[in-house]
Structure 1
Amino acid sequence: MLSLTLDNDNRTAIAAALAGDRWTVACLCAGWCGTCTTYRATFEQLAARHPDKHFVWVDIEDQADVVGELDVENFPTLLVQRGDTVAFFGTVLPDASLAERLLAAQVAHTGEELERLSASSEERRRWQRECNLRALLLAS
């Protein structure tokens, strides 16, 4: 598998891997979710097309102490961040081309644009406070 699967034994290693300014794409799902099970192959294909980015699979029930109070409304939920700046957090349709377009739109932003966007609404400011995967891993 090209993505990393977060588990209790590799949290420190994944936190270390996410250090720096690379893009991280995390899929927040649940083991019992049939849509998530099917989407896993799509997520792996996306990871194969983007080896310059980190891809992390997070089971929100197995890793409840990491994801804490994140508001995962439906599955799959994608978290896209560059360094410590969360660019996107939300439910997406389980469609490969949609995930590809979403990722392309985010990585097209310059660092300055990402910073501006991260403060542009209360929702995005909340993402910065609550959804930063690196910060969540370090706090667990």
Structure 2
Amino acid sequence: MTDTQPTDDALREQYAAAIRPTMLIGLQGAELDGRGGTQRINEWADWIATAVAAVRDKEVEALRDALGAVARVRDLHQAWDADPGSCAHCHDSYGTPLPYPCPTALALDPQEQLSARLTEYASKDIANGEPS
């Protein structure tokens, strides 16, 4: 869990804060016995479900926004067709393209990072005349 993700306690409090004010008003002087009470309890349960779903929908929207941002960054950091082996976005202070996968691509894709490390180790073995 990162620093930007709420803890379970923080999420519970967020849900409670969405529900508590209306529940407190709704419970004052409420008759909970018999058919009327059952109907009232069912109405509250429906309202709670709606309130929790609204909070959840905001969380899902935030997650979709974050995943969209990651996808846009990933789209920038692709292998460059015009210069094979280079990142299409990254360059050093002299304007020379950085090798692909660049540090950003590696950070976004652990599988890419593993593949890059294996390739690096294999190339070192070959350069040293050792079998890979």
Q: Comparing both structures, which one devotes a greater share of its residues to helix? A: 2
TM-score, normalised with respect to structure 1: 0.23
Higher relative contact order (CA 8 A, sep 6+): 1
Q: Mark the structure with the bigger radius of gyration.
A: 2
TM-score, normalised with respect to structure 2: 0.24
Q: Comparing both structures, which one devotes a greater share of its residues to strand? A: 1
